Structure 1
Amino acid sequence: MEAEIKLALDAASVAKIKKSPVLRPNAETEPVDDDHVDRYFDTPGFDLWKHGFALRVRSSGERHVQTLKGGGSALAGLHRRTELEAGVASETPDLDLFARQLKQAVPELARAAAGLQLAPEPVFVNRTRRTSWMLALEDGARVEVALDVGELQRGDKSVPVRELELEIKEGDPARLFQLAQQVHEHTPVRIENVSKAERGYALAHEDKPQAVKATPVTLKRKATLGEALGAIMLNCLQQMQANERLVATGDVEGLHQMRVGLRRLRAALAMVRDLIHLPEPLAADIEWLAGELGEARNWDVFIESVLPALPLTETHKPALARVEVAAREEAQRHHAKVRSAVGSARYTGLMLGLGGWIAGKGWQQAGLPQDGGLPPDPLAQQVRRAAPRLVQHASARVRKRARTFDLTQPENLHKVRIAAKKERYAREFFAALGHGKHGARRHDLLTGMQDELGEINDAFVAQDLVGQLRERVPQEEGLLGFIEGVLAMRALDALPRARKHVRNRLRDKARF
């Protein structure tokens, strides 16, 4: 299985990369240019692509190579996937070879694909000039560098290709992150989690990208706690990165799901804060990104949920329209800040840093604090033994806040909500190990309480936003004052009910 990091470049960076002080001094070979044409084939119904695979015939002069590639994963630009290739006689696929490759890579499709017929014309074509050379790094790792410049074509549609690929040939794939960070420091790049095949197929069917929600974390019962934590954090990072393209378009749900992924990552780190210490620069950048996403999300909630639910009359409508225009302008301004943040060198550095820290198991460090009778290396214990303890600690924090905080104060109810959310996430992280009926009921309870307390928090956040709108539409003071009054009354009405639910439900001792 190949492992490579893909980095996207702008036009100005292409020439700089060839002279990079990071990539040239360690060159084991001189750069070689090669013009090639990649033709991607599939069935008329795109059966291969639906199973996560792509069939390519690469032609370079008189040489033709047929490759079936796919499966695996992409994280922070690091692509791991199956790749089966062999020489063929022409620029069209060898069907006997294709059948053998298919049987090896996707046996379930091969069994179901009796009579599977490829379309005679390629789905799309990639015309690229590749400049490649080999690096021999100081630690013994060997990396192939490939700079691709060209375009993907389907009919009269095309998209440019400007990519830098770093493929590990010898050594630990985690080493690629360090190398990519060094490249990024000298020549800003962007992580490319979307393969050329994905971009090419996007030309073939113009499906609108959809926001990606959290997917279940896959855990092996015999996994160690360290292995499980790596899988959990990768899962959170994948959700964040899967929504990057939508965030770049200003999509509201895409931003929401990226923020959920970041919240889950922060919850995972908080769950093991006594065992794992994230490097301070990464921790600071996580908080920076959380702030950028949070401000934009607050305005989205205000526009989509708060304003439509107000008990306004026909006489309010002209003023409401002006208030809504001002609110949307604020939302657009914050979405622009988010797009700038996600497209920034700082964000790329954060994603590469987190990817490298996770892939390199950066949490494996000496001198971990001990408590509660943990084994000498708490991360080496089996996750099925450690998970109940971590969930119980998260539950205990909820009970403590519900029992000791002054619940007449909205800010304290918000703190209870945050703790309940972290317990819910902890239960979801370890759901593959099984909750039992009690654990499932507890999860449902936490979800309901989070929603109820969230409505109160939304009302208080909205009051702050109304205050900001006064500066933009001071002439609508009457309506803004009315909105503030409605929000304040709703929060006050909901507070007693919320306090009662917290006392009666969240104080009970919860099992895993």
Structure 2
Amino acid sequence: MSVEIELKLIARPLAIPVIRQQLLLFPHHYVAPQKLTNIYFETEDNQLRGLDMGLRIRGFDDQYEMTIKTAGEVIGGLHQRPEYNVPLLKPELALTLFPPHIWPENCDVEVLQSRLNALFSTDFMREKWVVTYGKSEIEVVLDRGEIIAAGRKEPICEFELELKQGTVADILALAIELAKSDGLRQGNKSKAARGYQLAQGKTKAVLPSIPVEIDMQQPLSSVLSSILTYWQEQEERWLAGLSESRDGVQQVLRLVQQALECCNELAGWTEPLDEQLAAINQELSVAETVAETLCYSSCYLQCKLALTMWLVHFSA
């Protein structure tokens, strides 16, 4: 078992050559692109999703691996999930090869396997750099391809930063370096989550209302976590074409400003963020500004990453 710690950055195609050049500036080991095919499995009643599990078989170069990711957490876009991997001789499920303790009590694994069907697939080319940054070794991958489910397709174009050894602070610092270029935004959904959504049809979930003021009785880590969750939800919906979420993003930024003004713990941390917030709010005040332009801007992403770094720091 390993605990996967990664950060996802959705990319515009035009940003890719710039990010490639940035990665070459750091000590690294490069791996040429490989084609990866992943098949995800689920029961008709979504039993695995109900357990917050994701099950896949990955194939590359006639080699196969079965992986299950169990319940974890997302902290400001930083994904942390226990993961179990088992090599396979052929692309067929064999759930009994996983450690028994990962399953709920009274779960009949053989019956579960008999109920599983292929739900969707992700096919993409993966290019990889293993980068030495700070005191850490960080794997940076570029994935380009598509998610296929129920006759529908959705593009994949993203960088993923995964901590192999070292500190979470270094993975965030590297992300901030890459965010000096436009064309990236922080992603909160794994390929699997997007695949489930595509397979089952996208629903317009009713989001909780954004508070007018932050609750200063909460720990700072809770305040920052809530703000980042609201921000990501409103951003995703604005990018999906829901114009009312533009106002939601503005309200979230007001909460960020309140946090900067009210939280003594942030003293000395806020100067760059003040300038970034001013620039973002200026863009939002212009009626012609569209989600694709602002949400993929360097200033916007660096602001979110700074909040994520604070969240990790104050959660420690």
What TM-score do you get using the length of structure 1 for normalisation?
A: 0.54
Specify the code of the residue in structure 2 equivalent to 1:35. Answer: K
* 1:131 pairs with one of 117, 120, 127: 127
Contact kept, 8 Å, 2:181 with 2:298, in 1: the verdict is no
Correspondence 1:194 to 2:189:
yes
Correspondence 1:342 to 2:295:
yes
Q: Which residue of 1 aligns with 2:201?
A: 206
Deviations 1:30-68 (A, max 9, x none): 323322211100111112123322101111123211111
Correspondence 1:163 to 2:169:
no
How much does 1:241 deviate?
0.8
* 1:281 pairs with one of 246, 268, 272: 272
d(CA) in 2 for partners of 1:337 and 1:14? Answer: 21
Q: Which residue of 1 aligns with 2:97?
A: 97
Correspondence 1:141 to 2:136:
yes
**Secondary structure in 2 aligned to 1:33?**
strand
* 2:171 pairs with one of 173, 176, 179: 176
Contact kept, 8 Å, 1:27 with 1:133, in 2: the verdict is no
* 2:306 pairs with one of 341, 345, 353: 353
d(CA) in 2 for partners of 1:4 and 1:347? Answer: 20
Greater alpha carbon shift after TM alignment, 193-202 vs 148-157: 148-157
Contact kept, 8 Å, 1:250 with 1:339, in 2: the verdict is no
Judging changes above 3 Å, is the alpha-carbon distance between structure 1 residues 187 and 237 closer, same or farther for their aligned structure 2 residues?
A: closer
In the TM superposition, what are the counterparts of 1:261-300 in structure 2 within 5 Å?
261-273=252-264, 276-289=267-280
In the TM superposition, what are the counterparts of 1:418-429 in structure 2 within 5 Å?
none
Contact kept, 8 Å, 1:136 with 1:142, in 2: the verdict is yes
d(CA) in 2 for partners of 1:238 and 1:346? Answer: 19
Contact kept, 8 Å, 1:292 with 1:337, in 2: the verdict is no
Contact kept, 8 Å, 1:38 with 1:125, in 2: the verdict is yes
How much does 1:206 deviate?
1.2
Q: Which residue of 1 aligns with 2:54?
A: 54
**Secondary structure in 2 aligned to 1:52?**
coil
Judging changes above 3 Å, is the alpha-carbon distance between structure 1 residues 112 and 273 closer, same or farther for their aligned structure 2 residues?
A: same
d(CA) in 1 for partners of 2:296 and 2:18? Answer: 20
Judging changes above 3 Å, is the alpha-carbon distance between structure 1 residues 160 and 66 closer, same or farther for their aligned structure 2 residues?
A: same
Deviations 1:283-334 (A, max 9, x none): 23334545666x6xxxxxxxxxxxxxxxxxxxxxxxxxxxxxxxxxxxxx84
Q: Which residue of 2 aligns with 1:13?
A: 15
d(CA) in 2 for partners of 1:245 and 1:24? Answer: 31
Q: Which residue of 2 aligns with 1:306?
A: none
Judging changes above 3 Å, is the alpha-carbon distance between structure 1 residues 192 and 118 closer, same or farther for their aligned structure 2 residues?
A: farther
**Secondary structure in 2 aligned to 1:59?**
strand
d(CA) in 2 for partners of 1:151 and 1:240? Answer: 26
Q: Which residue of 1 aligns with 2:4?
A: 2
Contact kept, 8 Å, 1:237 with 1:265, in 2: the verdict is no
d(CA) in 1 for partners of 2:297 and 2:17? Answer: 20
How much does 1:343 deviate?
3.7
How much does 1:336 deviate?
4.9
Q: Which residue of 2 aligns with 1:494?
A: none
d(CA) in 1 for partners of 2:72 and 2:251? Answer: 24
How much does 1:125 deviate?
0.7
Q: Which residue of 2 aligns with 1:380?
A: none
How many pairs were matched up? 308
**Secondary structure in 2 aligned to 1:246?**
helix
How much does 1:87 deviate?
1.2
d(CA) in 2 for partners of 1:277 and 1:12? Answer: 35
Contact kept, 8 Å, 1:67 with 1:85, in 2: the verdict is yes
How much does 1:259 deviate?
4.3
Correspondence 1:116 to 2:112:
yes
Deviations 1:207-232 (A, max 9, x none): 3232432699xxxxxxxx9x931232
Deviations 1:271-291 (A, max 9, x none): 324863442221233345456
Q: Which residue of 2 aligns with 1:243?
A: 234
Q: Which has the larger radius of gyration?
A: 1
Deviations 1:353-374 (A, max 9, x none): 2222332459x9xxxxxxxxxx
Specify the code of the residue in structure 2 equivalent to 1:145. Answer: V
| Unmatched 5+ stretches in structure 2 | none
More helix per residue: 1 or 2? 1
d(CA) in 1 for partners of 2:149 and 2:230? Answer: 30
Q: Which residue of 1 aligns with 2:32?
A: 32
d(CA) in 1 for partners of 2:12 and 2:182? Answer: 10
Judging changes above 3 Å, is the alpha-carbon distance between structure 1 residues 342 and 34 closer, same or farther for their aligned structure 2 residues?
A: closer
Specify the code of the residue in structure 1 equivalent to 2:94. Answer: D
Judging changes above 3 Å, is the alpha-carbon distance between structure 1 residues 123 and 338 closer, same or farther for their aligned structure 2 residues?
A: closer
d(CA) in 2 for partners of 1:284 and 1:15? Answer: 28
Judging changes above 3 Å, is the alpha-carbon distance between structure 1 residues 290 and 278 closer, same or farther for their aligned structure 2 residues?
A: farther
CA RMSD across the alignment: 3.2
d(CA) in 2 for partners of 1:65 and 1:342? Answer: 35
d(CA) in 2 for partners of 1:277 and 1:111? Answer: 53
Correspondence 1:42 to 2:42:
yes
Give the number of the structure with larger relative contact order, counting CA–CA contacts within 8 Å between residues 6 or more apart. Answer: 2
What TM-score do you get using the length of structure 2 for normalisation?
A: 0.83
